[in-house]
């Protein structure tokens, strides 16, 4: 059994600033750990408790200390990810960070007019882009129907338009729009237990919140619903694990949300996007010391690892 001493043997905290605020954060703190298998990442968002963070730790431990999954391919096509920004110049600037992307995932919120304007701007910039919307569960069924009824034919899918399974099922009865589930899986204490029939057309699989490549792959096999591999604003180290998952899934070809590294001012490594694709590769992080955080923050993160490790150990039993 792995010990905390082994986790902390080669443990680093890195702060990565974002070019533009994303999901309400302007920077990420990311703990990186090195083990015999390579580098792993532990980077639950700051507000997550130890129960939610335990899956993130499991993913980091798997990467650093676990076995590698056999791969089916060596490059992955990606989608652009557009934060909730509105002026054309900023949207153009962000979209230019994803050369060759054929799909864009647009974050949308509660203001219908703003959402429609954002979508229209993206289409003006490139009318061929396939469009996904990500609502992060913030609409009621009524709002979802109202927001989607005029644009349902223009989108590939809407990701988590409402938060609960019942709401999504009710929405599906009202409007024929493909639905992807994300929070429903990754915020669930037992994500294998859901009845997703008549609800989900796509599963969004994110390695860190789902507890690692092996577990996320099992989820794809369990549900037999088309998947889209995505990420949780990890550093290039965490993104490597997302690439591993996308490369390990049989018959997988959807554009993946694994290009969010471009949203950072600087990262611990690079996964360059060439013609809309990223090569599957591991990262040897650079600039760890230059990025050094205060002793207080390192201690806070070590405490967080300890608390999450308790939960992780119970899950392993």
For 293, other C-beta atoms within 10 Å of its C-beta total: 16
Q: How far is the CB of 148 from Mg ion (least distance, A)?
A: 16
* Residue with Cβ nearer Mg ion (22 or 42): 22
Among left, alpha and beta (phi > 0; psi -120 to 50; other), residue 293 is: beta
* Residue with Cβ nearer Mg ion (108 or 247): 108
- Reduced to 3 states, what is the DSSP secondary structure of residue 112? helix
* Residue with Cβ nearer Mg ion (7 or 158): 158
Q: Tell me how far apart the alpha carbons of residues 250 and 35 are, in angstroms, rounded to a whole number.
A: 28
User: Residue for token digits 């083990």?
Assistant: 35
Is 123 tagged catalytic? no
Query: Considering 34, 105, 172, 206, which one is annotated as catalytic?
Result: 206
Give the pairing type, strands 75-77 and 38-42: unpaired
* Residue with Cβ nearer Mg ion (76 or 108): 108
Q: How far is the CB of 168 from Mg ion (least distance, A)?
A: 13
Q: How far is the CB of 197 from Mg ion (least distance, A)?
A: 21
Chain positions contacting Mg ion, by CB under 5 A: 134, 159, 182
Look at residues 172, 171, 164 and name the one whose alpha carbon lies nearest to residue 137: 164
- Produce one character per residue of 249-260: b if its CB has 16 or more CB atoms within 10 Å, e if not: beebebbbbbbb
- Among all residues, whose Cβ is closest to Mg ion? 182
Q: How far is the CB of 67 from Mg ion (least distance, A)?
A: 28
Query: Considering 107, 172, 217, 277, which one is annotated as catalytic?
Result: 107
Percent helix, strand and coil across the chain, each to the nearest 5: 40, 20, 40
* Residue with Cβ nearer Mg ion (159 or 234): 159
Q: How far is the CB of 105 from Mg ion (least distance, A)?
A: 8
Is 206 tagged catalytic? yes
Q: Provide the token pair at 133.
A: 């919307």
Catalytic residues: 107, 206
């Amino acid at each position: 059994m792995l010990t905390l001493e082994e986790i902390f043997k080669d443990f680093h905290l890195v702060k990565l600033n974002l070019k533009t605020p994303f999901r309400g954060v302007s920077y990420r703190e990311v703990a990186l750990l090195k083990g015999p298998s390579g580098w792993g990442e532990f980077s639950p968002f700051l507000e997550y408790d130890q129960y939610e963070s335990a899956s993130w730790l499991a993913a980091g431990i798997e990467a650093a200390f676990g076995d590698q999954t056999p791969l089916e391919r060596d490059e992955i096509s990606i989608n652009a990810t557009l934060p909730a920004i509105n002026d054309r110049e900023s949207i153009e600037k962000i979209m230019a960070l994803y050369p060759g992307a054929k799909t864009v995932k647009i974050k949308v919120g509660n203001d219908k007019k703003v959402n429609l304007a954002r979508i229209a701007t993206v289409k003006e910039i490139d009318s061929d882009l396939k469009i996904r919307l990500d609502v992060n569960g913030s609409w009621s069924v009524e709002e979802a129907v109202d927001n989607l009824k005029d644009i349902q034919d223009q989108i590939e899918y809407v990701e988590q338009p409402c938060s609960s399974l019942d709401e999504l099922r009710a929405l599906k009865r009202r409007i024929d729009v493909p639905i992807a589930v994300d929070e429903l899986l990754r915020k669930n204490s037992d994500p294998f237990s859901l009845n997703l029939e008549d609800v989900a057309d796509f599963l969004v699989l994110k390695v860190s919140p789902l507890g690692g490549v092996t577990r996320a792959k099992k989820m794809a096999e369990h549900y037999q619903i088309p998947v889209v591999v995505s990420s949780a604003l990890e550093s290039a180290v965490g993104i490597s694990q997302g690439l591993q998952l996308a490369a390990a899934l049989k018959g997988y070809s959807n554009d993946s949300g694994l290009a969010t590294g471009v949203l950072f001012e600087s990262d611990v490594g690079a996964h360059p996007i060439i013609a809309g694709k990223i090569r599957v590769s591991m990262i040897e992080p650079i600039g760890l010391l230059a990025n050094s955080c205060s002793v207080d923050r390192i201690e806070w993160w070590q405490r967080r690892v300890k608390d999450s490790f308790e939960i992780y150990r119970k899950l392993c039993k």
